[in-house]
């Protein structure tokens, strides 16, 4: 009798102890993830905080060792927008250059990419696979390794210090991806659509314009975003190929700030934030589509 | 170049499928003329701006004496060591942390869900502003890092860009900061593609924590991990922006990698052929990586 009662008591005690140890472990794990989350937040945001901190400094007060903005001032942002500092006298012009290069790269990558994908995937040109395979080889050689010969070639063509040389390089790098995505996406559109149009007497350009492009709209938007961001984020080719202040883009101007010792750092950081804002907005607007794009290529065979 | 990676990741399978359809229905006559006209613009871009520069680069770096000159300079050996460290440490630490963090982000806690959009910020940010900020954080005693060190711990921080190893470390940290979110998302996508039943079966068998990682996740994600690491290595060998903006090669070119050394030779030293030779000397490493990558992609196809 008594032994059974003792056993039962022991059992409940071990049970409650086990339960409390489970609770403890869960509590510790929660605490662990919280600590890790805090570390990730600090790690991710420190360089961004640094940008904001410096951009909020009033002029001439940048190099003092404090970690909070003491007298926050938006003077530097205003200065960038009104081009009030001599370092920034071409800011809007350079911003327009960046936009121009971005839009042109987007336009030509979409145009050449969709034309090529149409000919290979829809019209099924002989040896078309050779073109798309060769195009993908572009990505085997790092772009920076081609920068020096590319620069020489552009000089020979008389395109040095010309935005079109940058556009040419970036179109060459963006189009293979466009062709690839358009072909993959085009598979979901039945070829019978094209065939019925052909029976109705439509010529290939008509099929391309009236049927193919409207049906490809989602892929065009996705690749267009990609090409725009590629051009916006590129630095090396713009740095090498655009040398005059009037033809420069914002990244090149930003890097020029670094090379001088008397640069107005608050203006530099304000410029950096203004330049970074559009792509960040685009990323967050298209976040779901971008991650689903990742799953498409990265995981599916 | 983020999305570019998925092209290679999904490439050969797609192309093989394509090849089959090509042979089924070739077209002739005026249609063929149109098709060729549609391909010509891109073909012209490819020949003029990809094939021609590659050929021109190989031609510029054809002289063996260039490579003798390159090796005779101790700067080159130092740069090769830097490149190996930058790529080796940068890629592997980044990939391993990304794999672990992708598991962390799988957890169902509201604050972890809220953290993910913050965590991908470095990926969304253009590299130039990000690296300019890194440079400024480490500029010296007035930089943000040293200010924090003196304000919180009361110690004087180092002059980061006066010491080769500290500057090299700064480059690697900035590189990891910028690119880890992208690969974390890739592995996250890979983990979500694993059927939930497999996790459940493993849980029933009593596998959790480390054992689940070693016996369930690694075998399933192993090939994806390999492909991603090879791709990332390929891109990082050609990375110019990080080193050129974070440490700027300081102190005195001792943290240069091959990509920045090539540009320095060509544009500051006015020796373009030597610059091309410097980057071309990475080809013996690049080509095996490409071959390995193709193999890894093929085994993945037979696996799935």
Same domain, A158 and A63: no
Residue whose C-alpha is closest to residue A12's, from A26, A24, A20: A20
Same domain, A96 and A57: no
Residue of A nearest to B6 (CA): A297
For the whole model, what pTM was predicted? Answer: 0.84
Residue whose C-alpha is closest to residue B111's, from A266, A93, A31: A31
Quick check: B6 contacting A, CB < 8 Å? Answer: yes
Q: What digits encode the pLDDT tens for the residues A20-45?
A: 888 888 888 888 888 999 999 999 99
Whether a cis peptide bond, with omega within 30° of 0, leads into B251 is yes
Residue of A nearest to B46 (CA): A172
With beta carbons under 8 A apart, name residues in chain A contacting B35.
119, 123, 125, 204
**Which pLDDT score, from 0 to 100, does residue A294 have?**
46
User: Of A37, A43, A146, which is closest to B111 when you measure between CB atoms?
Assistant: A37
Give the CATH number of the domain where residue B117 resides.
1.10.3720.10
Same domain, A94 and A13: no
Same domain, A98 and A231: yes
A132–B7 C-beta distance less than 8 A = no
Per-residue pLDDT of chain A (301 residues; tens, 9 = 90+): 556 666 777 777 777 777 788 888 888 888 888 899 999 999 999 999 988 888 887 765 555 566 777 777 777 888 888 877 777 788 899 999 999 999 999 999 999 999 999 999 888 887 888 888 888 888 888 888 899 999 999 988 888 889 999 999 999 999 998 998 898 888 888 888 888 888 888 888 999 999 999 999 888 988 898 899 889 989 999 999 998 888 899 999 888 877 776 667 888 888 889 999 998 888 888 776 655 554 444 333 3
A262 φ/ψ angles, rounded to the nearest 5 degrees: -100, 20
Same domain, A104 and A213: yes
Q: Is residue A244 a part of any domain in this protein? A: yes
Same domain, A73 and A98: no
State ipTM: 0.81
Q: Is residue B20 a part of any domain in this protein? A: no
Domain containing B225 equals: 73-303
Same domain, A11 and A136: no
Partner A, chain B 61-100, Cβ-Cβ below 8 Å = none
B121–A48 C-beta distance less than 8 A = yes
Domain containing A15 equals: 2-77
What torsion, rounded to 10 degrees, do the Cα atoms B296, B122, B256, B227 define? 0
Q: Is residue A85 a part of any domain in this protein? A: no
How many domains is chain B built from?
A: 1
How many domains is chain A built from?
A: 2
With beta carbons under 8 A apart, name residues in chain B contacting A63.
142
Q: What digits encode the pLDDT tens for the residues A101-159?
A: 999 999 999 999 999 999 998 888 878 888 888 888 888 888 888 999 999 999 888 88
Q: Is residue A211 a part of any domain in this protein? A: yes
Q: Is residue A264 a part of any domain in this protein? A: no
Q: Is residue A273 a part of any domain in this protein? A: no
Residues contacting A34, CB < 8 A, separation 6+: B111
Same domain, A59 and A188: no
Q: Is residue A274 a part of any domain in this protein? A: no
Same domain, A49 and A132: no
Q: Is residue B41 a part of any domain in this protein? A: no
B279–A33 C-beta distance less than 8 A = no
Q: Is residue A184 a part of any domain in this protein? A: yes
Same domain, A131 and A181: yes
Structural domain ending residue among the three candidates A239, A259, A279: A259
Q: Is residue A63 a part of any domain in this protein? A: yes
Residue whose C-alpha is closest to residue B273's, from A91, A89, A149: A149
* DSSP annotation string for chain A: -HHHHHHHHHHHHHHHHHHHHHHHHHHHHHHHHHHHHHHHHHHHHHHHHHHHHHHTSPTT--SS--SS-SS---HHHHHHHTT-SGGGTTHHHHHHHHHHHHHHHHHHHHHHHHHHHIIIIIS--TTHHHHHHHHHHGGGS-GGGGHHHHHHHHHHHT-TT-HHHHHHHHHHHHHHHHHHHHHHHHTTS-HHHHHHHHHTT--HHHIIIIIIHHHTHHHHHHHHHHHHHHHHH--HHHHHH--STTT--HHHHHHHHHH-TT--HHHHHHHHHHHHHHHHHHHHHTHHHHHHHHHHHHT--
With beta carbons under 8 A apart, name residues in chain A contacting B107.
33
Q: Is residue B286 a part of any domain in this protein? A: yes
- Quickly tell me which residue has 């984020």 as its tokens: A233
Q: Is residue B258 a part of any domain in this protein? A: yes
Same domain, A22 and A65: yes
User: Of B3, B52, B272, which is closest to A293 when you measure between CB atoms?
Assistant: B3
Q: Is residue B44 a part of any domain in this protein? A: no
Same domain, A29 and A151: no
With beta carbons under 8 A apart, name residues in chain A contacting B238.
141-145
Residues contacting B87, CB < 8 A, separation 6+: B233, B236, B237, B257
């Amino acid at each position: 009798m008594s032994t059974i009662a003792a056993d039962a008591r022991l059992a409940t005690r071990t049970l409650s102890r086990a339960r409390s140890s489970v609770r403890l472990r869960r509590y510790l794990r929660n605490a662990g993830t919280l600590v890790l989350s805090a570390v990730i937040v600090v790690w991710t945001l420190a360089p961004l905080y640094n940008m904001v901190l410096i951009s909020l400094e009033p002029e001439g007060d940048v190099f003092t060792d404090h970690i909070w903005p003491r007298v926050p001032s938006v003077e530097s942002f205003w200065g960038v927008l009104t081009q009030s500092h001599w370092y920034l006298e071409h800011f809007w012009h350079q911003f327009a250059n960046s936009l121009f290069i971005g839009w042109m790269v987007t336009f030509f990558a979409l145009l050449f990419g969709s034309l090529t994908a149409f000919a290979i995937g829809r019209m099924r040109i002989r040896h078309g696979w050779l073109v798309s395979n060769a195009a993908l080889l572009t990505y085997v050689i790092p772009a920076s390794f081609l920068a020096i010969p590319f620069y020489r070639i552009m000089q020979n063509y008389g395109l040095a210090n010309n935005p079109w040389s940058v556009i040419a390089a970036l179109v060459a790098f963006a189009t293979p991806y466009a062709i690839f995505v358009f072909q993959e996406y085009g598979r979901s559109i039945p070829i019978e659509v094209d065939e019925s149009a052909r029976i109705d007497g439509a010529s290939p350009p008509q099929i391309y314009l009236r049927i193919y492009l409207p049906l490809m709209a989602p892929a065009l938007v996705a690749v267009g975003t990609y090409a725009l961001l590629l051009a916006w984020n590129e630095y090396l080719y713009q740095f090498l190929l655009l040398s005059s202040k009037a033809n420069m883009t914002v990244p090149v101007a930003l890097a020029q700030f670094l090379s001088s010792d008397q640069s107005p750092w608050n203006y530099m950081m304000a410029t950096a934030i203004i330049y970074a804002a559009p792509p960040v907005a685009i990323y967050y607007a298209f976040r779901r589509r971008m991650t689903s794009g990742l799953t498409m290529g990265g995981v599916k065979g | 170049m983020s999305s570019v990676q998925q092209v290679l990741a999904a490439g050969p399978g797609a192309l093989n499928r394509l090849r089959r359809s090509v042979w089924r229905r070739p077209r002739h006559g005026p249609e063929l003329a149109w098709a060729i006209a549609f391909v010509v613009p891109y073909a012209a871009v490819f020949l003029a701006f990809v094939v021609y520069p590659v050929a021109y680069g190989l031609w510029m770096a054809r002289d063996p004496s260039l490579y003798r000159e390159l090796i005779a300079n101790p700067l080159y050996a130092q740069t090769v060591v830097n490149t190996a460290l930058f790529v080796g440490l940068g890629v592997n630490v980044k990939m391993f942390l990304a794999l672990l963090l992708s598991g962390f982000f799988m957890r169902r806690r509201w604050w972890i869900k809220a953290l993910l959009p913050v965590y991908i910020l470095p990926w969304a940010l253009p590299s130039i502003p990000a690296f300019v900020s890194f440079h400024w954080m480490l500029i010296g005693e007035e930089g943000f890092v040293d200010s924090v060190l003196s304000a919180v711990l009361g110690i004087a921080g180092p002059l980061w860009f006066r010491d080769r190893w500290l500057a090299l470390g700064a480059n690697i940290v900035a590189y990891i900061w910028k690119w880890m979110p992208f690969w974390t998302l890739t592995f996250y996508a890979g983990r979500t593609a694993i059927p939930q039943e497999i996790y459940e079966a493993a849980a029933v068998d009593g596998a959790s924590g480390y054992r689940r990682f070693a016996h369930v996740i690694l075998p399933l994600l192993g090939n994806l991990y390999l492909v991603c690491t090879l791709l990332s290595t390929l891109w990082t060998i050609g990375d110019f922006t990080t080193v050129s903006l974070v440490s700027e090669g300081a102190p005195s070119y001792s943290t240069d990698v091959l990509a920045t050394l090539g540009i320095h030779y060509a544009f500051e030293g006015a020796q373009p052929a030597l610059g091309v030779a410097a980057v071309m000397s990475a080809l013996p490493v690049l080509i095996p990586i490409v071959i390995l990558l193709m193999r890894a992609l093929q085994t993945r196809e037979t696996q799935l």
